[in-house]
Chain A
């Protein structure tokens, strides 16, 4: 192995989704760690991993029960003072792991944590890791005991990296955890929850306007709930809008426990598909959305970019707020070229691979996690613009946008914002921002 493995979209589409080459399957090789992959190679590493996500419940604190190593990077998360004060650690030693004696200390630790807080926490999220996954710990039971002892809700958050490709990966499980404190309430027909992210949608997202035009008065997102009381009001929702498939399990749990049904929307960058999605949503909720002005604005942004900068050739990564294959397809359909995609191919996005193959058969597909990426050399990539923080790592000399801001882009306004950001980067209005750990990552 002395070069980065890639496969063209045409070759991959021809093989079919049941014959994906092992070089693209993370379970078939060692997982390469580069700054391009940090955010999603570890359930606690950067961005909204399990630890930070678990603190989405307003007023909550987190007690990490694990060997010290599992809490190490929380120092980095805790650089933000408001978060630092919400993390606590009960460290397991070798004897704890062998005997399980640490479980008996959890209720007392929870009480000590609560007593040490200036304001009593609304809940204590217990984060446990691979250790308890292997020990088979019944953390639900331990949490009930701790709750009784300390007089505060105690909720388990499972940071089981071992199960990342299983039925309940950590980021799926933690979404269920953060909504598990909602208690049944009388339904309010004009209330809707948006599930899926741990930070809000961009304020200009048309989804808010469209929902309000349909008579919705309260649109709640957990990240906009300032207090535990506001969070509890999410239980009155008439339905949940699921914008990220990792929230499906949480939505199913809310339907089962609180009787709140859900509708799933995908984050898309193809404007005709966005329109179709809103039409179907309208049918489901009995409304007709006037999304034309938003669509027009998005398509104007694409046209304006194209007029000014021509038909650029993109490299698209996966550390960004998009499915890299859907975004690439959108770019190709709008007349741009995509020379390479750094992404994880799976059952859910293979349909885009097939469409890309039909329009741009030579687009190369790389797996960020392949050990061969150690030898990636972008010299012959033929791209001139990059999207995604990982793609920016591979092409440090090219203009681009990370497109992984915490405020979530969605719908037409997301499309417009992307092309606006690309335009600003190319015009030099904003600097290329692809740094990792505060400085430009070297290749």
Chain B
């Protein structure tokens, strides 16, 4: 059955992606739920929540709130929490409950802005989509809301779009990505969401270029290109050392790389450096942008299709989050290189190594 998971557990949902994208910007984040979704996000999908104070709240919806659609009550609570807090904006993130009762997020945004006098962002996540969709929506809204002024371009400045712990499983990923780009000659790297703050978002038009490191950042990059003419490229300038160290042994092997698409593409590029004739396919459970796919690349639609692909793909090696091993046929002895993907397993490199 396509929608049945018998070996794996569900991956990070869109509301987690949205919170992850907005977490680092000193805003008040309200998850429009009854409490369970907030527990999942904070307790599992946002590792930064454990190590710093953050303004993440549950709307604490109850059955009558859902039945009566008490948006005014929600906005009053939001205003009360914002008053005097020093927070710079509010964000309201959807979950299955508002999706079912068809909450008007545009109206919520207007109401919140009017009541607080500060910008508001809404992301109508539904809980049925993966994290990258929610992150993509949140990045786009963030830049639409705050990157409104055209500034003169700083030729040494590059913006990094699409970085979050869900895509890059290290709390230090922002620095690691930035360091890699500085080695390429950039003297100012703004890694949005993992280091760069709200003022940097406001000054996004000053970047000479944006580098998109995961498909979740692509919509924002396209928006910034369209609005300010900022060009963008797609690359993943940093990969974990333990993954890079393991790749030479795969030279000449038929390999499947499973991760977020741009990181997986970067692994492929590294493998092809060792043996250009290798067959390396890329797959992902998440967004697969057609412009960045090669011939045999594919999107994994279900656990069933994952098992089918690894069973019959003729692969010798698989580079993927090691937690996927539980769904692989035990009769096949793949060479598996563990590349943790937080959105899949909730594992950080810091905890693995």
Chain A residues near B (Cβ < 8 Å): 1-2, 26-35, 38, 41-46, 66-76, 78, 84, 87-94, 96-97, 102, 105, 108-109, 112-113, 116, 129-131, 133-135, 159-166, 369, 371, 374, 436-439, 441-443
Contact call B38/A374, Cβ cutoff below 8 A: no
A-B residue pair count with CB separations less than 8 angstroms = 227
A229 CA to B3 CA in the complex, in Å? 33
- Given A371-B57, A441-B50, are A112 and B43 also a contact pair (CB < 8 Å)? no
Within the complex, which residue of A73, A135, A160, A436 is in contact with B100, where a contact is CB–CB below 8 Å? A135
Q: Contact: A69 with B10, CB < 8 Å?
A: yes
Contacts of B51 in A (CB 8 A): 439, 441-442
Q: Is the CB of B11 within 8 A of A41?
A: no
Between A and B, 9 residue pairs with Cβ closer than 8 Å are A26-B60, A31-B59, A33-B56, A44-B36, A72-B12, A92-B128, A161-B35, A374-B55, A442-B50
Interface size on B, residues (CB 8 A): 66
Most buried by B among A67, A74, A108: A67
A159 to B346, CA, bound (A): 22
* B44-81 interface (Cβ within 8 A of A): 44-45, 47, 49-53, 55-63, 66, 77-78, 80-81
Encoded as 1 (CB less than 8 Å from any A CB) or 0, chain B from 1 to 28 comes to: 1011110011111111000000000000
Most B CB within 10 A of own CB, among A87, A89, A90, A133: A89
Residue of B nearest to A170 (CB): B36
Contact check: which of B1, B37, B326, B351 meets A112 at CB < 8 Å?
Answer: B1
The answer to whether B57 and A90 touch across the interface, beta carbons within 8 angstroms, is: no
Residue pair A72, B96 in contact (C-beta under 8 Å): no
Chain B residues contacting A84 (CB-CB under 8 Å) are: 9, 326
- Is the pair A71, B10 in contact by a Cβ cutoff of 8 Å? yes
Is B161 among interface residues, defined by CB-CB distance under 8 A? no
Decide if A29 touches B6 in the complex (CB within 8 Å): no
Q: In the assembled complex, which residues on chain A have CB atoms less than 8 Å from the CB atom of B39?
A: 33, 38, 41-46, 73
The DSSP consensus for interface residues of chain A is: mixed
Q: Which interface residue of A46, A69, A164 has the most chain B CB atoms within 10 A?
A: A69
Minimum CB–CB distance from A201 to chain B (whole Å) comes to 27
Q: Digit string of B71-94 for contact with A (CB within 8 Å is 1, else 0)?
A: 000000110111111100000000
Q: Given the complex of chains A and B, what is the CA–CA distance between A439 and B348 in angstroms?
A: 13
Whether B126 sits at the interface, judged by CB under 8 Å, is yes
- Nearest neighbor of B78 in chain A, beta-carbon distance: A30
Residue of A nearest to B97 (CB): A130
Chain B residues with Cβ below 8 Å from A92 are 3, 128
Do B100 and A164 have beta carbons less than 8 Å apart? no
Q: How far is the CA of A66 from the CA of B95 in the complex (A)?
A: 12
Other A-B pairs, 16, CB within 8 Å; known A46-B43, A76-B44:
A27-B62, A29-B81, A33-B38, A33-B42, A43-B39, A44-B39, A66-B96, A67-B127, A69-B13, A69-B96, A72-B44, A97-B99, A105-B3, A113-B4, A160-B63, A161-B36
B335 at the A/B interface (Cβ < 8 Å)? no
Instruction: Identify A44's interface contact among B40, B77, B84, CB under 8 A.
Output: B40
Would you give the shortest CB distance from B296 to chain A, in whole angstroms? 27
**Contact residues in B for A78 (Cβ distance below 8 Å):** 9
Most buried by A among B47, B55, B58, B351: B58
Q: For B30, B44, B345, B351, which residue has the most chain A Cβ atoms within 10 angstroms?
A: B44
Decide: A90 near B34, CB < 8 A? Known: A42-B39, A46-B43, A72-B16: no
Q: Is the CB of A72 within 8 A of B40?
A: yes
B132 within 8 A of A: no
Per the bound structure, the CA–CA distance linking A78 and B347 in Å amounts to 13
Contact across chains for A27 and B60 when beta carbons are under 8 A apart: yes
Contact B1 A68 (CB under 8 A): no
Complex CA gap A374/B85 in Å reads 9
What distance in Å separates the Cβ of B131 from its nearest Cβ neighbour in chain A? 9
Please give the distance in Å from B255's CB to the nearest CB on chain A: 26
Name which residue of chain B comes closest to A87, CB basis. B9
Q: Are B30 and A75 in contact (CB under 8 A)?
A: no
CA distance A66 to B99 in the complex (A): 14
Contact A1–B83 (Cβ < 8 Å)? yes
> Closest residue to A76 on the B side, CB-wise?
B44
User: What's the nearest-Cβ distance from chain A to residue B94, in Å?
Assistant: 11
B101 part of interface (Cβ distance < 8 Å): yes
Q: Would B50 and A166 count as touching, CB distance under 8 A?
A: no
Contact A33 B9 (CB under 8 A): no
Q: Which residues of A contact B47 (CB under 8 A)?
A: 437
Do B351 and A438 touch (CB < 8 A)?
Answer: yes
